[in-house]
Structure formats: C-alpha cells, structure tokens
Amino acid sequence: MASAKRPVKSKSVLAAAVFRSVYASREQRQRRFLAVSLLIIKHTLRGLLFSWPLYLLIYAGFRTDAPLSWFLWALGIPGVVVSVFILMRGIREEYRHRVQERLLSRLDLARLLRGGMA
C-alpha cells in the first residue's frame, strides 16, 4: 500500500465502494485515531513552546496579592484562550489536509510528526 492514498476521483461505483470499505476498516480507524492523538500531542507541545509566558503569567497571578493578581489574570487568561483556539484550529486543519479521506500506512504516522506527508 502506498503512503496516504487519496481516493481517485473516478466514476466507478465499484472503486468508490472498495475505498469506503477499506477506509471504514478497523485498522484504518485505529490509524486515524492514532494520527489524531499524535497531532494533538504535536500541536500541544508546540503551543507550550510558544506560549509558555502566558502560563507563567497565570501562575504568577496565583502567587501574588489581589490587585496584581487580577491584572496578571486579565492578561494571561485571554491569551491562553486564544492559544487554545489556535491550537484547535491547527489540529483541525492538519487533520483535514493529511488524514481525512486517506488510507494511512504505519509510515504515515511518523511522517505526521515530521510534517513530510503531503
């Protein structure tokens, strides 16, 4: 099986039925589940790498007195909300681009982490 095959846009009903049956198989469902898990881990770690100052602001808000803590929370919490929104959008876009409507092989799961699968 070649890596990450997309269905060929053919007019054959048989080809579409065969693709759908393989796509719905237990093995492909497990690979898609693992792919989603890897994408979540990848994007979460990348998000933590870029937005750690926001989490530090919120942590400092828990450790300081009332007026300063409110200010730190007012800065940190909206930033974390935006960060989570960007994280979810990135996972969704990469899933649509690299996993949805494709037949995945084991090598495709490793390529998801490196970003080499088109």
For residue 22, tell me if it sits in a domain: no
For residue 66, tell me if it sits in a domain: yes
pLDDT band, residue 3 (cuts 50/70/90):
low
- Overall number of domains in the chain: 1
Instruction: Report the pLDDT value the prediction gives residue 69, as an integer from 0 to 100.
Output: 92
Distance set, CA 25 to CA 10, 22, 28, 77 (Å)? 21, 5, 5, 42
Out of 2-6, 10-14, 28-32, 40-44, pick the least confident. Answer: 2-6
Range of the domain at 102: 27-114
Contact 108, 4 (CB under 8 A): yes
Contact 45, 33 (CB under 8 A): no
Which amino acid belongs to residue 69?
A: S
Instruction: Report the pLDDT value the prediction gives residue 1, as an integer from 0 to 100.
Output: 41
pTM: 0.78
pLDDT band, residue 109 (cuts 50/70/90):
confident
Contact 61, 73 (CB under 8 A): yes
Q: What are the phi and psi torsion angles at 5 (to 5°)?
A: -80, 130
